[in-house]
Amino acid sequence: MSDAFSEKEMKERELFADLRVFPPFAVRIDGRGFRRTLDLLGLKKPYDERFARAMANATESLFRESGLNPLFAFTFSDEISFFFSEIPYNGRVEKIDSIIPSYISSSLTIQLSLTNPAAFDSRVILLGKEDIYRYLLWRQAETWRNHLSSYGYYTLLRYGLSENDAALRLKSMKSSDVHELVYQHGINLAETPAWQRCGILIYREKYEKTGYDPIKKTEVKALRTKIIQEWNTPIFKTEEGKKLITRLISEA
């Protein structure tokens, strides 16, 4: 048998260990093969609030308990984007890209009492501060497209089309046609819950808590933070949406 690697030799092979990023940046994770994972769980299609709640709670638990300090996060379907303005793990990409998805996999497993393993892929996206808003516009547009096409898809399946035919048919349909098709089936896509159309934001909010100091015998004010799950996320393109995102980014 040949000699074992020395510590030094081994370290030389850890080629990616020095790969670093500097904030601000985003990390986006996406459930691997969740179509099947969620099917096996018997979750409602195209949207199951139980799943969305589990994703939002897993994200909130990362804010609370992982020691990571994201500025805020945005989630829809099986993906979550986290935004960072300070460097976790000295900016080491291997750490960031492994700890975040494994933390969320584990937290989601607990939330949903999964009996099959779940996994997420993960990527780091370098963003200037001014790019964060544009990135969010992009992901929210995807949230909307996903909303339209998944309602359209499942409606076509209910009409008896095969999965392949439904996917093909959907490709050739204009969005107004999809609206109409789904409407005929009793669902108005302009009135579905906001979280399905606009996604869910998770962020910290500072608030002042007034307490009483029994020694000084005076009222004292302390700055606390709470974590908000915004299920009524505004459309980021609107003034209201832009204002909210600008505020969240400025907390950096």
Ligand X SMILES: Nc1nc2c(ncn2[C@@H]2O[C@H](COP(=O)(O)OP(=O)(O)OP(=O)(O)O)[C@@H](O)[C@H]2O)c(=O)[nH]1
8 A C-beta contact, residue 219 and residue 208: no
Q: Does 30 bind Mg ion (CB under 5 A)?
A: yes
* Of residues 25 and 47, the one with the C-beta less far from ligand X: 47
Classified as helix, coil or strand, 14 is coil
Count of positions on this chain that bind ligand X (CB under 6 A):
15
Q: Select from Mg ion, ligand X, none the partner in contact with residue 45, using the beta carbon and a kind-dependent cut-off of 5 to 8 Å.
A: ligand X
Q: Determine which residue in the list 21, 48, 142, 204 makes contact with ligand X, applying CB under 6 A.
A: 48
What mask, x for binding ligand X by CB under 6 A, covers residues 58 to 87? -------------------xx---------
Among 25, 27, 29, 31, which residue interacts with Mg ion (rule: CB under 5 A)?
A: 31
Long-range contacts (CB closer than 8 Å, 24 or more residues apart) made by 92-99:
92/17, 92/18, 92/19, 92/20, 93/16, 93/19, 93/20, 93/21, 93/124, 94/16, 94/17, 94/19, 96/21, 96/27, 96/122, 96/124, 97/27, 97/122, 97/123, 97/124, 98/122, 99/66, 99/68
- Rounded (5°) CA angle 87-88-91: 65
- Footprint on residues 69-98 left by Mg ion (CB under 5 A): 78
Rounded distance, CA 73 to CA 94, Å? 20
Rounded to 5 degrees, φ, ψ at 177 are -65, -40
The one of ligand X, Mg ion, none whose footprint includes residue 182, by CB under 5 to 8 A per kind, is none
Using the minimum distance from each CB to ligand X, give the nearer residue, 17 or 40: 40
Q: Which of residues 17-36 bind ligand X (CB under 6 A)?
A: 30-35
* The residue to which tokens 């500025």 are assigned: 71
- Stretches 14-22, 46-54, 89-97, 216-224: which one binds ligand X (CB under 6 A)? 46-54
- Which CB atom, from 35 or from 243, has the smaller least distance to ligand X? 35
Q: Name, in order, each residue with C-beta under 8 angstroms of 156's C-beta and a sequence gap of 6 or more.
A: 165, 166, 169, 170, 181
Torsion from C-alpha of 61, 47, 175, 81, nearest 10 degrees? 10
Output 55 or 132, the one with its CB closest to ligand X. Answer: 55
Piece of 14-22, 44-52, 104-112, 236-244 that binds ligand X (CB under 6 A)? 44-52
How far from chain centre, in Å, is Cα 227?
Answer: 15
Task: For the CB of residue 193, give the shortest distance to ligand X in the complex, in Å.
Answer: 11
Closest distance of CB 243 from ligand X, Å: 29
Report in angstroms how near the CB of residue 132 gets to ligand X at its nearest: 22
Question: Site residues (CB under 6 A) for ligand X?
Answer: 30-35, 38, 43-45, 47-48, 51, 77-78
Question: Site residues (CB under 5 A) for Mg ion?
Answer: 30-31, 34, 78
